Chain A
């Protein structure tokens, strides 16, 4: 157990060792090599890079160089990412084989390895991370430590003001002060609905109960979203500290973090963080020598989207089927194990320490009038800079997609952006200048959601994407209430018909009728929002639905049942690339003479179209 003084000593000592990471004018002779150890870069073998670096350091007995496995830097498209500090050199897509050269040239001779530098979308080669357009409009509040510290080392977290907010709260603020500060900040829930966080804390604080809990929703069920995972992987102590502060504010002594089992790295790092915090006495009894006691436990999900819904989550934490319960009673009064429970999302919590340290006013100065602070987005799909982006609320979609995201690859046109996942909607080009905030996104038929942002180019069919999401909800509906269980299935059948070229007059009206009823009568948010992907695409792309029904035609050519793929005999040079890439061996021919496609075998996936160097293949 450490006292406040001991923690301060650790802070000072560690800061003197790692401050060069933030100090570009550092003149000493130490270097820190930061290698991304998030899921994305780990999947492209950043761990091998790290082992190799450590092996070289040991073998050559190099002093003053440290390798640090950090959380996500954000620019996942360029992974694995290596940053060398203090000079801040940014190497992209490096591999194990490149490590020796990095050491030979850069580390030992101060020479930059030009070929590993990153080319920005505008064609310029950049040397430093902050020169990238990707970072220019971002503001890192939630992600401030991601890519900066070793998430498995509590001392590094402490060095950059870690556990200072908890100390401040326990030594100089009453629980009411804390609640009021959070209320004044204007922070709203980042899990999707945008409920004012301070108000939720107040309700839970006022609720009567012999035992109270705080809980964190780290289920992150939106497929294509990875904001919360990145916080857990890159800065797990931020969550531990924030939950302790929340527990103090509402009067809880025990916390649960519900994480999806599909995030093994995140779970491991969070568990480590909890263990280290316990070891330092930052969890447990008598924290910082006060009366306050708090402990934290991880509970794993097992792949059920509905468990992100708050009441279903609680059922699941208790070890049951994750079926939602009717509300009221709300969790603030009757939550986990029937006791008053505060539930917030990971990103919501990740704002708390900074609100406490910098004040509600500082937080309120970021963002828009009704949506304060920043929002993290996981940007994916047909976009150049796939990755993790944190921007002030009020930033426009255009800025995120084009300035930060680098636009659409392959010279294609932007068609729509999808936010809010299976509960959200598709936003067309005409609304690209919408500022990102809770109200504006709702007003155009989508929603903030938890932060998934999928960009689609003009090859994507909007009826098909609506069907993709309905497939998802049909699969994930828990089955407890009939409107959701049966209604989404009926909607999906209609969409199935449409995308197979068997749409009927009246199908659009049926979809609208079903959507209205499902939204009105479902038990939980899953059903209440399930029709949104259909409604929003109907709103902006109704002509596509009509073409599917009236002309049996898919304007974007994605719905395979309505198209044929053919090779233009005059353009084909017989190179066989298409045949090699065809997943179903539907293409055949003699080398150097025109190839042809067997329409019975062809699944119209379009791989050949993309592969043909002579643009001889097209979809009609």
Chain B
């Protein structure tokens, strides 16, 4: 797997030393190497890297003494964890019941059309990725989507183009 040799892609002159990896090691240490904190550590890994790369899995496996296969099993069980990087801007359309009833499918269709990608996909330039999520709890604003942390509510398909333009 090519990812085994994946190095930090940054150009900052750090010489390939990846601060994110050091941060991860520190987090595991802060958990006192407690195996039952695996979910917390994976959530943090997801936050630090934007996904859970193989090298992070290796670090977790070695530090906690949990087999790689088991870690992989946990990662793939939970939908929040991703083995692939996401776009610079990750768009998540809520398909919870309240948003669905208010037409979030039409929002999703419009996004697919404009971006030319499907749910789970990423644009070739790596800029946008698209996902469907369950309720984010902003039902008063249904239908909603989020682009990274920003929430957009009371949407209708005609608004999508303008919103995306902000990110060009």
Contact = CB atoms under 8 A, between A and B. Distances in A.
Contact of B140 (A79, A300, A320, A605): A79
A223 B96 contact: yes
A157 B94 CA distance: 33
Contact of A580 (B37, B99, B158): B158
Nearest to A300: B43
A335 to B, nearest CB: 14
A380 B153 contact: no
Interface stretch (A16-24, A39-47, A143-151): A39-47
A79 B138 CA distance: 11
A302 B78 CA distance: 6
Given A300-B43, A316-B39, A319-B74, A605 B105 contact: yes
Contacts of B96: 223-224
B39 A224 contact: no
Contacts of A319: 35-39, 74
Contacts of A316: 39
A322 B135 contact: no
Size bracket of the A interface: 35 or more
B164 interface: no
Contacts of B39: 299-302, 316-317, 319
Interface stretch (B18-26, B106-114, B121-129): B106-114
B101 A583 contact: no
A583 B42 CA distance: 37
Contacts, number: 158
Contact of A43 (B98, B100, B141): B141
Interface stretch (A97-105, A179-187, A452-460, A565-573): A452-460
Contacts of A465: 101
Nearest to B100: A468
Nearest to B102: A381
Contacts of B38: 319-320
B78 A583 contact: no
A226 interface: yes
Size bracket of the B interface: 35 or more
Interface in B66-123: 73-74, 77-81, 95-103, 105-106, 109-110, 113
Interface string B42-67: 11001000000000000000000000
Contact of A583 (B81, B97, B113): B113
B109 A452 contact: no
Interface in A193-236: 221-226, 229
B7 interface: no
Contact of B156 (A44, A452, A581): A581
Given A39-B136, A223-B96, A584-B113, A262 B80 contact: yes
Nearest to B81: A302
A603 interface: yes
A454 B137 contact: no
Nearest to A469: B97
B17 interface: no
B140 A584 contact: no
A79 B101 CA distance: 20
10 contacts: A43-B141, A224-B135, A226-B137, A226-B139, A261-B43, A303-B134, A319-B35, A321-B74, A454-B97, A456-B101
Interface of B: 35-40, 42-43, 46, 73-74, 77-81, 95-103, 105-106, 109-110, 113, 133-142, 144, 151, 153, 156-158, 160
